[in-house]
Structure 1
Amino acid sequence: MLVSELATRIGARFAQGPDADVTRVCALDDSCADGLSFLSSGRHLKGLHATGAGAVILAPEFVGEAPCPCLTAENPTLAFARAVELLHPRQRAPVGCHPSAVVAGTAVIDPSASIGPLCVIEDQVRIGAGVEIGPGCLVQRDSAIGDDSRLTAAVTICAGSIIGKRVLLHPGAVIGRDGFGFARDGERWVRIPQVGRVRIGDDVEIGTNSAVDRGAIGETLISDGVKIDNLIQIGHNVQVGENTAMAACSGVSGSTKIGKNCTVAGAVGMAGHLTIGDGVHFSGMAMVTRSFEQSGSYSSGIPAMPSADWRRNVARFRHLDEMARRLRRLEDEVAALREMQATE
């Protein structure tokens, strides 16, 4: 479409250059005369100066730096996301059930839904309007999937799970598996039956091979707008607040409550039964072993360093307690000496 038309449809402003056609999106350093790219920040000005894109979305202050037609927006990344949807519309799956799908007679499926090859839909399942269930998915009994949600492929929805509207579940996601609950019987572990369920709100996205465990009793809750990356484990009875985002390889132990608008960077580990307040942000590989109810940014872990430095530091770790005790004795001796001098 014309750059001017695209600008209108994504809420941007056509700032400069000829009103050219764009047909696709491209990287800033690509050479594609019909492509649309974007500048996310001033750190990438070098790429902007050399770009071969047909048009670029950027912030207003960078218009003079661009060698091509420009669309300006206060949030170029958001405007670009909207442009991608327009230039690369998703092809919907055909409506109806594939002949190889196995659908229970008591399942209630909206006529506008799509059930792909080799899917299994069990008893009392409810599937809303516009839902797309891709190949190889399993939806177990008594589950419900809200309107316009999409299970891409090989997704498992375990019994009794509730999925909201416009939810996107990527390949291999497992929703509602039994939580990790066991009791000791001497030297043996006895499994505690998990009788709760999972409830997922609207506009949630859950990445590839991530798992959300059902509640042991009650619900595991993923609230509206939550975004969960690949390879993430959410334990039983966890609650994740609205619009929180979690990056890959993180794990949350059972019964922890995470507030709204939090961010959890990659490989963060959280202990169980914690309370994380609204607007809390954990940096990568943080080990969260206590509650953080005050909003803010929190970090832990040890940054990478040269191997020789690491080996020397590790060798000293075992002496830290001894050094701390010696320092305390020296501080006490200095304090006593000063007190003695003051009384003389």
Structure 2
Amino acid sequence: MQVTLAEIVADLGGELHGDGACAITAIAPLETAGASDITFLANPRLLPQLQGCQAACVIVAPAQLEQALARGACIVTADPYLYFARLTQWWVRRHGQQVPAGIHPSAVVHPTARVHPSATVGALSVIEADVQIGAETRIDSRVTIERGTVIGARCIIHSGAVIGSDGFGFAKQGQQWVKIEQLGHVRIGDDVEVGANTCIDRGALGDTVIANGVKLDNLIQIAHNVQVGENTAMAACVGISGSTKIGANCTLAGGVGVVGHIELADNTHVSGATVISSSLTEPGRYTGVYPFEPHSKWEQNAALLRQLRKMRDRIRNLEKELARARPQQPPEQSL
């Protein structure tokens, strides 16, 4: 299968510099693209790779036009990465690689579940009672969607995800744990993507809510009664404890942990492996990762950290002694 540069620009826009009849057979990375491939340059730090690139065409920003022209054809656009994203979608539609609608014969769908005719349910997936799945939503293979879950339109649920499992709720009775039955459900909005082996627990009483446009990577844990605001994105291995509210347009990088019963403001961005232990009421970027170092030095610094409280007390006592030893200044005489 192949397309021409003219066809790409006609459908996606951009400013073409070069032969519109040039045939493209694949989309490839900048460093490995060949003579019939199209690629993109989104990070200016990769500019030194541009001259050696063998691609038929490179998608670039206006600032890189001169360098791109020096090596060959290019498409100029304000946001090359966004253009690349739309190109991948266009390519899938063009080459018929989309998964057809329908329920795979091996899937188990409860009679009370409502699956939109344009939705897809993959092999060996299980759809429990009273589940609702919206238009053009894709449920991949081996997904489990528990009772009462509502999933909106145009969502993608990747293989191995479990949505609507019981939240982790127990009460202590002596030396034993008494289970708290989880009576709520999960409600997922439109245009949400849930990664492979990600788990979203049902609410204990109310619902766990994932708003429109949320993107969840693989291996994420969303506990019971969590609320995630619109267009928030989380990378792999994020863990959100129960009853936490995450605002809209937030990003949580890989391995972030968030304790329960707190809130993160809209437009909050958390760096990888950070643990958020209290509410964040102001938008911005938050980082709590201790820098790594050789293990022997880390042990030395860890030992010092254990002494910080004693060191603080000693400093306070020294400050008090210095204050007592300091000569008293006589009061100023008024004129």
| TM-score for the superposition, normalised by structure 1 | 0.91
Corresponding residue for 2:53?
Answer: 51
Q: Aligned letter for 1:32?
A: G
Corresponding residue for 1:253?
Answer: 241
Q: Aligned letter for 1:91?
A: Q
For each residue in 1:30-82, what CA deviation from the matched residue of structure 2 results, as whole angstroms up to 9, or x when unmatched? 24111110001210012111101111101011111121210011110010111
Bigger drift between 129-138 and 225-234 goes to 129-138
Corresponding residue for 2:90?
Answer: 86
| Number of residues of Structure 1 aligned to a counterpart in Structure 2 | 325
Partners of 2:65 and 2:243 in 1: CA distance: 50
Q: What is the aligned counterpart of 1:320 among 285, 308, 312? A: 308
Q: 1:56-67 alignment to 2 at 5 Å?
A: 56-66=58-68, 67=71
**1:83 Cα deviation from its structure 2 partner:** 1.1
Matched, 1:342 2:314: no
Q: 1:23-34 alignment to 2 at 5 Å?
A: 23-34=25-36
**Percentage of identical aligned residues:** 43
Corresponding residue for 1:159?
Answer: 147
Partners of 1:64 and 1:329 in 2: CA distance: 65
Note the aligned Cα RMSD (angstroms). 1.5
Partners of 1:234 and 1:4 in 2: CA distance: 45
For each residue in 1:306-327, what CA deviation from the matched residue of structure 2 results, as whole angstroms up to 9, or x when unmatched? 2232121112122111111111
For each residue in 1:113-152, what CA deviation from the matched residue of structure 2 results, as whole angstroms up to 9, or x when unmatched? 4111411001310011311111110000000000000011
Q: What is the aligned counterpart of 2:116 among 128, 136, 145? A: 128
Matched, 1:76 2:64: no
Corresponding residue for 1:332?
Answer: 320
Partners of 1:273 and 1:196 in 2: CA distance: 17
Judge conservation of contact 2:109–2:128 (CA < 8 Å) in 1: yes
For each residue in 1:174-230, what CA deviation from the matched residue of structure 2 results, as whole angstroms up to 9, or x when unmatched? 000010000111110010000100000000001010000001011100000000001
CA 1:24 to 1:311, structure 2 compared with 1: closer, same or farther past 3 Å?
Answer: same
Judge conservation of contact 2:6–2:20 (CA < 8 Å) in 1: no
Partners of 2:321 and 2:13 in 1: CA distance: 70
Corresponding residue for 1:98?
Answer: none
Partners of 2:117 and 2:321 in 1: CA distance: 77
Partners of 1:307 and 1:210 in 2: CA distance: 32
Partners of 1:192 and 1:21 in 2: CA distance: 62
**What's the secondary structure of 1:49's corresponding residue?**
coil
Matched, 1:221 2:225: no
**1:301 Cα deviation from its structure 2 partner:** 2.4
Partners of 2:252 and 2:39 in 1: CA distance: 28
Corresponding residue for 1:204?
Answer: 192
Residue segments in structure 2 that go unaligned for 5+ positions in a row? none
Matched, 1:294 2:300: no
**1:4 Cα deviation from its structure 2 partner:** 2.4
Partners of 2:61 and 2:121 in 1: CA distance: 39
Residue segments in structure 1 that go unaligned for 5+ positions in a row? 95-112
Q: Aligned letter for 1:342?
A: Q
Corresponding residue for 1:2?
Answer: 4
